[in-house]
Structure formats: structure tokens, C-alpha cells
Amino acid sequence: MDTTKGDSTVTTRRIDIIDIHVHVRTGDHAKVWERDRYVPANQEGFSDHPDAMADMYRELNGMAVIFDIDDETRTGLKASNEEIAQWVARHPDVYIGFGSVDPWKGKAAIIEVERCAALGLKGIKFHPAVQDFAPNDPRFFPLWETCARLGLAVLFHSGTTMAGAGQPGGAGIRLEYGRPIPYIDDIAARFPELRIIMAHPAWPWHEEQLAILRHKPNVFMDLSGWAPKYIPESVIRYANSLVQDKVFFGSDFPMLTPHRWLREFAELPIKDSVRPKILRDNAARFLGLTHLVEHALPASE
């Protein structure tokens, strides 16, 4: 049972986790996926259909931020923000929607960001390496100005990527665009009201990522895309201490299941006081879902 209070969905069920990094295929991406009958990326048998995903997160007492990536200029494939909004409307107790825009579309990209806000989406996902752009290029400053003005968070892929891995020339994808310094640091300095999430431990530049987290109040990170046992030790150490209020749980489903991520996270030397921050509380505050923290049930209930 759900009610709406302002812009936030209020759920009466218990919420233990918020997965801030979950992929949903929309538009052309969904058509290509179905046409080519790809084998699901995860190996634990969980469906990546959004209805099944919603049930999966309900069983985990969780919520999830869902999005696609619009890389039409580079690949010819367009994502659909309307479909993201439709999945959120279908499962409002589970899903929070982020849109995606192709930054190379100029004024059309700005209009699409505004439309994402009108659709009720809470942020915009970018993948600089896949979308082939440098976030600190002045040509894209109007995007960051618009997102800041509308209160939309921006989620940037950071670090290396498996997209194009093993293909000739890495399919033309330049890993440098996933580097936190100068790209994320620059726009965080220029647009202090812009709320930024760096997706993934930014290996091999994770030390730069940690420096930005300490220096820029408007920058956060998620731990998605890495099985916790492989997350660099320095990232775990800082997440457990100096940046414990700026780190979010993320799985990168369907690339990695939340089940595996949570199993391995439970084995890490994380303080009991920090675990709920990473798993739920930090994201709840960032997304304006403070009721999930204020009315959280003890683990024994």
C-alpha cells in the first residue's frame, strides 16, 4: 500500500536497502536485446524484466533507482525516459526513476532534461566513456546548469568500463572520460549546487575519487559494479570512516545481482553504525526519502 506525500513515495512496508544503480532496457535498447536474445548477464537466474525486478526488490525489503543510457549519437540506439517513468508509476513502492539524455544533442538535450523533471524523474544518468564526451567541456555546461536549476541529481559512470572490452580498440571507447580528476572535480567546482554521484569505485583512479569526496560537499559515490570482495581496500577504509555519509549501495543489476553484493558486503569489516548508512540511509537522505530513515524498523522487527 502506498500513498504520495509531496514528491516522495511513502511505503508502509519495511525498507532495508536502496540500490541506487539498476539498469532497465528501454526504447531501442530493449528491442535489440529481445531481437538478439542475449543471455542474462547475471548468473543467479534472476530475471531483468522490470516487473520481476520489482518483485525481487520487494523480497529484499528494498527500493531501486532505475535508468537506461541514451547513447544515440554514438550507437544509433535511443533510450526512452517515458518508459522509465511508466515503470516507476507501475511500481511506486519500489522504483525511483532517473532519466538519461545524449549530451551531444544540444538544445534537444536540455529540453529532454526538462521533460525528465516533468515526468517526475529524480536524476539524470550519464556514461561519458560510452557517450564519448568530456563532462567539463564548456559545450555541456548548459546541461549541468539545467540539472542544478531543476534539482536533478546527475549520476556519472566513473573508472573503467567493460563496455567494448576485448573488441578492437575497445570499440572506440576512451576510458579517460571516466576519470574523476579533472572531469568530475571540475564541474563540481563550477556548479556547487549540482548534486553529483560518481558511479562505481573509479578504478584505477579511485584515489582521485576519494579526494573529491573529501573536498567537494556536492559529490557522492556508489559502490556498484564491483563484487564487494574486489572493491579496492582504500575505498572500503574511507567508506567505513571519513566518507561514510557520502557512499551508497549499488549493485549494477543485471550485471551483478544485489543478492551477491549483499552477501559479500556482509563479510567486509564495516562498522555496525556505518552499514545502514551505506545500505539505505545515505541514499534516502539524498533522494529526499527521509521518512525511511526517521521511521526505520529495528532489524529484529
What does pLDDT average to over the chain? 91
Q: Which pLDDT does position 28 carry in this prediction?
A: 86
Tell me whether residue 300 is in a domain: no
Tell me whether residue 11 is in a domain: yes
**CATH number of the domain that 37 lies in?**
3.20.20.140
The domain tally of the chain equals 1
CA 28 to chain centre: 20
pLDDT tens by residue, 278-297: 999 999 999 999 888 776 65
Stretch 260-281: mean pLDDT, rounded? Answer: 97
Tell me whether residue 279 is in a domain: yes
Q: Which residue has the cell 569526496?
A: 213
Span of 11-20, 38-47, 110-119, 134-143 with lowest mean pLDDT: 38-47
**pLDDT higher than threshold 60 for residue 257:** yes
CA geometry: angle 157, 213, 236, nearest 5 deg: 80
Q: Which grid coordinates are listed for 255?
A: 550485471
Nearest to 16 by CA among 46, 56, 57: 57
78: CB partners within 8 A, 6+ apart: 27, 28, 70, 72, 102
Q: Which grid coordinates are listed for 40?
A: 542474462
Tell me whether residue 117 is in a domain: yes
Tell me whether residue 59 is in a domain: yes
Tell me whether residue 301 is in a domain: no
Tell me whether residue 63 is in a domain: yes
Nearest to 188 by CA among 247, 242, 148: 148
Residue 37: DSSP 8-state: T
Q: Which pLDDT does position 299 carry in this prediction?
A: 46
**pLDDT higher than threshold 50 for residue 5:** no
Tell me whether residue 37 is in a domain: yes
Pairwise CA distance, residues 243 & 31, whole Å = 40
Stretch 168-174: mean pLDDT, rounded? Answer: 89
Structural domain boundaries, residue 28: 2-294
> What torsion, rounded to 10 degrees, do the Cα atoms 14, 15, 16, 17 define?
160
Whole-angstrom CA distances from 244 to 31, 40, 81 are 40, 33, 32
Residue 253: DSSP 8-state: B
Pairwise CA distance, residues 192 & 188, whole Å = 6
Pairwise CA distance, residues 19 & 278, whole Å = 10
Pairwise CA distance, residues 180 & 174, whole Å = 14
